[in-house]
Amino acid sequence: MIFTATQISDVFIVEPVVFEDPRGIFMEIWQAQKFKEAGINASFVQINQSRSSYGTIRGLHYQIQQAQGKLVRVLHGEVFDVVVDLRKSSPTYGQWVGEVLSAGNRKMIWVPPGFAHGFQVLSEFAEFEYSCTDYYAPEHERTIRWDDPDIGIDWPLQDAQTPLLSERDLAGVSMKEADVYA
């Protein structure tokens, strides 16, 4: 596996080594020792999958308690994936990292606890997988607006397209109003 650091400490792009022959492909998605050697000491308790249509934005989501680390990847299609640092004590507080993840490039992103996460679907639809280090706790879930100008995410919206949003995402708050981590 290839672990590429981003401009935000603790967030990594992870690329599996793919073995391909006439039968198809094989790749490791998770191997605890390799992740530990890269500085990621995580174990997963829950794996989620979503399917979303073109133009959908999910996020920016996080849990203020039972903070989840997430290893995310695309099983089908393509998304623009975003991670936002919500750690007030961090020198990169409020900054974001974005990366195109697709079934074709097989890239993954490690989203540490203490970060908000979201993505926009760029293909007709996308199947998205989240491996989580803690359980979903709806009572602790929070949402920051996808278009918060203080964060300034450069979403790849096409021709002033209006994204498809859930009611929860429409009700998201600004980062200034949000509960964040110490």
Cis peptide before 71 (omega within 30 of 0): no
Which of 54, 62, 93, 130 does the annotation list as catalytic? 130
* Alpha-carbon gap, residue 70 to 44, rounded angstroms: 8
CA-CA distance, 84 to 95, in Å (whole number)?
A: 6
Calpha distance 94→83 (Å, rounded): 10
- Which is the catalytic residue, given 61, 117, 136, 140? 61
> What is residue 33's three-state secondary structure?
helix
Q: Is 61 a catalytic residue?
A: yes
Annotation marks residue 130 as catalytic: yes
- Whether 174 and 94 have beta carbons less than 8 Å apart is answered as no
Active site residues: 61, 130
